[in-house]
Amino acid sequence: MMNALNFTWLPGYNFGMKRWIYTLAIVCLVMVWGVTAVSATTSLQTENLTSRADVTYGKEILFELTGPFTETVAQVDLFFTIGSAPSPYTVKANFAQDEAGVVTASYLLKRESAELPPFAEVRYWWVIRTADSQTYQLPEAITTYRDDRFEWRSLTDHDVTIYWTGSDAGLGQTALEIVQESRETLDAILPPGNVSPLNVYIYPSTGDLRAGLRLAGRDVVDGHTDPALGVLLVTAVNPITAATELHQSIPHALTHLRLYQLGPTVELPYWYAEGIALLASAPDEAMADLVATAVADQETLPLLQLCTNFPDEPDQAELALAQSVSLLRTIQTQFGDQALRQLGSLYLAGASCEAGLTQTLDMSLVDINVAWLDAQAPQPAWLTFLTENGLWLLLVAGSFGLLVLILRR
Ligand SMILES: [Zn+2]
């Protein structure tokens, strides 16, 4: 049967193929003409319509469409997506059309009904259906459900936008530079996955930041904002110390955001998530001192405890955090950034706290603990002197030897 079919088809190939191509070409032409005609009428019909969205933060977004329309309107639908949600919502808008044909349509989106997350981008577009069943879709527009209690200044460079308040005109540029440095640091120590685009909001105080989240039905939890919001929310309280504050907070929050986007459903070991966020931030002398004292007093926490039983009690928790950063820094010094990236990849792939470490370093947890403690032990004074002055000592010794050889001749 196959042979017979092939046989009857082949002789007619040239003619059949040509006719098929002509038909296809005509179909394409008709389609292109059709699409052009439709979009032409669409743009003619809708180009005088004005679409807008009014955000009242903490309460609602009012979407409005107004303008002249020559046909009789039967229905107006609003389509919108919130944040990165995969599928749009559709709602019927209230609408009216006067005798002159002017349409006004609106839809009030309440915060509670849509669970609008703070700072979410809302993409929206209107679809108008006419009495004779024609549909016209307007171009997509975007609005941001942002905290409107402040006059935000803004500065954009490529995919990064900084929003801040107050009179310090240079703060935006400072923050942009810190974002750039943080991205470079994170590219070295985390698996690939840049957060882009990136919006950073700098609040004038922690209280304002917290109030902003609470107005939108959220809060700061354990000193952190929810990375699922997809934006960086930080504070710069004092203009004089703003840069120092941002050197701590931006890399820290960006680490959490990047890790979240790499594995939204993965629960990372606490010591790793916090440790790597602190490692990415400006070094904290107080934390280094905490570790040095605990090592000297032989009061460090066993590594296994960071994995299985991270302390709750504030002093112990502080030491555990300091040890977490110190462990990651030791891994970085002895095995390189590549080891940190591998550790991150293993954890993001769901490896257990212990397995991530033992597989990355090819050592047992006990041996890792010993190696880390060894690395913390203070160097004897003569060794420090030698490492710092070794080259000079070598040069002096060399010249002295040379001198002896010359004198003996
Ligand atoms: Zn953190």
Q: What is the DSSP string of 272-292?
A: HHHHHHHHHSPP-HHHHHHHH
Q: How far is the CA of 176 from the centre of ligand 1 (A)?
A: 21
Q: How far is the CA of 68 from the centre of ligand 1 (A)?
A: 53
* 256 CB burial (10 A radius; 0-12, 13-18, 19+): buried
Helix boundaries (H) for 47-170: 111-114
Contact (CB, 8 A) for 86 and 74 = no
Per-block mean pLDDT, blocks of 10 residues, the chain (409 long): 32 45 53 44 77 95 96 97 90 96 96 88 96 95 95 97 94 98 98 96 96 94 93 93 95 98 96 98 92 95 94 95 97 97 98 97 95 84 61 66 68
Task: Determine the Cα–Cα distance for residues 331 and 338; give it in Å rounded to an integer.
Answer: 10
Question: Which pLDDT value is given to residue 400?
Answer: 66
Task: Determine the Cα–Cα distance for residues 49 and 267; give it in Å rounded to an integer.
Answer: 48
Beta strands at 121-130 and 73-82: parallel, antiparallel or unpaired: antiparallel
Q: How far is the CA of 277 from the centre of ligand 1 (A)?
A: 6
Task: Determine the Cα–Cα distance for residues 394 and 405; give it in Å rounded to an integer.
Answer: 16
Q: How far is the CA of 245 from the centre of ligand 1 (A)?
A: 14
Task: Determine the Cα–Cα distance for residues 298 and 282; give it in Å rounded to an integer.
Answer: 27
For residue 302, the 8-state DSSP code is P
Q: How far is the CA of 316 from the centre of ligand 1 (A)?
A: 17
Q: How far is the CA of 149 from the centre of ligand 1 (A)?
A: 27
Q: Residue 181: which of 263, 122, 85, 248 has the closest Cα?
A: 248
Question: Which pLDDT value is given to residue 115?
Answer: 83
Beta bridge partners of 55: 61
Question: Which pLDDT value is given to residue 10?
Answer: 33
Q: How far is the CA of 202 from the centre of ligand 1 (A)?
A: 17
Domains, the chain, in order of start with CATH, read: 46-144 (2.60.40.10), 149-265 (3.40.30.160), 269-381 (no CATH)
Question: Which pLDDT value is given to residue 114?
Answer: 82
Question: Which pLDDT value is given to residue 1?
Answer: 35
* Residue 73 neighbours by CB distance under 10 Å: 17
Residues 6 or more apart in contact with residue 20 via CB below 8 angstroms:
none
Q: How far is the CA of 88 from the centre of ligand 1 (A)?
A: 33
Question: Which pLDDT value is given to residue 307?
Answer: 94
Tokens of 375: 């690395």
Q: Dihedral of the CA atoms 345, 351, 353, 359 (nearest 10)?
A: -70
Contact (CB, 8 A) for 234 and 213 = no
Question: Which pLDDT value is given to residue 20?
Answer: 54
Distances in whole angstroms, Cα of residue 213 to Cα of each of 93, 178, 243, 289, 408? 29, 24, 23, 35, 83
Helix (H) or strand (E) segment spanning residue 298: none
Q: How far is the CA of 224 from the centre of ligand 1 (A)?
A: 6
List pLDDT tens digits, range 109-163. 998 888 899 999 999 999 999 999 999 999 999 999 999 999 999 999 999 999 9
Question: Which pLDDT value is given to residue 340?
Answer: 98
Question: Which pLDDT value is given to residue 329?
Answer: 96
Question: Which pLDDT value is given to residue 19?
Answer: 57
Q: Ligand 1 is a single-atom ion; what residues have CB below 5 A from it?
A: 274, 277
